[in-house]
């Protein structure tokens, strides 16, 4: 009987030090980004919607995935999908531009219409809190190992799937997960 009490006390002590515990980590709706245009972008605005969060880069071999991301966004947005691009310079310095340059590149080269955030770190100690949360609740598969890593968040803000860089946004397993999340919302 003593072990559970000690475990609870230990968990409370860890939580009070700021260590994120997966069981108490909340959901994605607690996090805020800033849009590429400098406006607040709280994820709570996406309650009830499925969100595909993708760390992006303009000078990466996987940059052509922007086209598939836009196609998936157009295919499912009226059903409740948001694709959220999070530019990051964490991998190979492949996103060196300013927010204005990134936006111009995405719109001019790939007709990107889905929301983009300002540039953020997505790994390590400086990672945006959303990415730290995803790592805490999803473990290693949720941690981006390169650009164009995909995290799927359901309408309740739960992390429901992770897809590595090489998995294209329009791959059957990605679309199946998106469709399942969209169907579960109602």
- Burial zone of 179 (CB within 10 Å; 0-12 exposed, 13-18 middle, 19+ buried): middle
> Which residues make Cβ contacts (< 8 Å) with residue 60, sequence separation at least 6?
91, 92, 94, 95, 146, 147, 148
- Count CB neighbours of 159 within 10 A: 21
Give the active site residues: 60
State in Å, rounded, how far the first CA of the chain is from the last one.
42
Helices 65-76 & 172-184 angle (0-180, nearest 10): 30
Taking residue 29's Cβ as centre, other Cβ atoms within 10 Å add up to 18
């Amino acid at each position: 009987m003593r072990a559970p009490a000690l475990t609870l006390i230990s968990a409370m002590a860890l939580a009070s030090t700021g260590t994120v515990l997966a069981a108490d980590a909340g959901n994605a709706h607690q996090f805020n980004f800033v849009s590429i245009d400098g406006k607040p972008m709280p994820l709570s605005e996406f309650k009830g919607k499925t969100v595909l969060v993708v760390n992006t880069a303009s000078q990466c071999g996987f940059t052509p995935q922007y086209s598939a991301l836009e196609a998936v966004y157009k295919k499912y947005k009226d059903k409740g999908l948001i694709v959220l691009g999070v530019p990051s310079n964490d991998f190979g310095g492949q996103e060196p531009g300013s927010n204005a340059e990134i936006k111009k590149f995405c719109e001019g080269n790939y007709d990107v219409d889905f929301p983009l955030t300002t540039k953020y770190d997505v790994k390590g100690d400086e990672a945006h809190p959303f990415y730290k949360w995803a790592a805490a609740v999803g473990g290693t598969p949720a941690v981006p190992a390169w650009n164009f890593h995909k995290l799927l968040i359901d309408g309740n803000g739960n992390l429901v799937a992770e897809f590595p860089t090489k998995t294209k946004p329009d791959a059957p397993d990605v679309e199946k997960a998106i469709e399942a999340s969209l169907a579960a919302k109602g």
